[in-house]
């Protein structure tokens, strides 16, 4: 389950940002360890300068994968976008568990006025399925090689 409000977390460093802009095998990595009872996530805040009326679609592209447990098994992960009208994250799609990178492309067309606030913020959340527990269940990771939002 996604959080009930937009999540910002710690901002990426310059080096981490450079790992997100191309599909080159350099990862932005988020790791959660310990018996936290939480999902691992990555939150992305894109600034969109186009007026809402001129936007016909958003295209989200992600390349990466997720792991669970201390023995790094493949994990399913989810893509959400923040909806400012419903004040909640809206599930976009699910990526299957795979230890190899996979590219997920999501196209949102039509009325996207609910997905951008007055300051141009668009929040996208990538969340692993695994909930950290104890013992061998005490680890989860998301590897992102590319995260991109194109606006048309």
- Other C-beta atoms closer than 10 Å to the C-beta of 27 total 19
| H helical segments located in the chain | 14-20
How many whole angstroms separate alpha carbon 150 and alpha carbon 107?
9
Is the CB of residue 122 less than 8 Å from the CB of residue 34? no
Among candidate residues 69, 142, 130, the one with its CA nearest the CA of residue 102? 142
Distance CA 141, CA 30 (A): 5
- pLDDT tens for the chain, 152 residues long, are 788 888 877 888 898 999 999 999 999 999 999 988 889 999 999 999 999 889 999 999 999 999 999 999 999 999 999 999 999 999 999 999 999 999 999 999 988 889 999 999 999 999 999 988 888 899 999 999 999 999 99
pTM of the predicted protein model: 0.94
Radius of gyration of the chain (CA): 15
């Amino acid at each position: 389950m996604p959080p009930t409000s937009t999540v910002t977390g710690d901002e990426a460093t310059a080096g981490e940002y450079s790992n997100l802009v191309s599909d080159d095998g350099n990862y932005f990595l988020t790791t959660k360890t310990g018996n936290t009872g939480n999902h691992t996530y990555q939150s992305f805040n894109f600034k969109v300068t186009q007026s809402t009326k001129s936007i016909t679609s958003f295209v989200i592209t992600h390349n990466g994968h997720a792991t669970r447990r201390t023995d790094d098994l493949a994990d399913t992960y989810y893509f959400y976008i923040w909806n400012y009208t419903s004040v909640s994250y809206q599930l976009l799609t699910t990526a299957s568990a795979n230890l190899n990178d996979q590219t997920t492309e999501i196209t949102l067309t039509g009325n996207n006025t609910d997905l951008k606030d007055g300051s141009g913020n668009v929040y996208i959340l990538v969340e692993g399925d695994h909930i950290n527990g104890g013992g061998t269940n005490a680890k989860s990771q998301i590897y992102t090689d590319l995260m991109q939002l194109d606006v048309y």
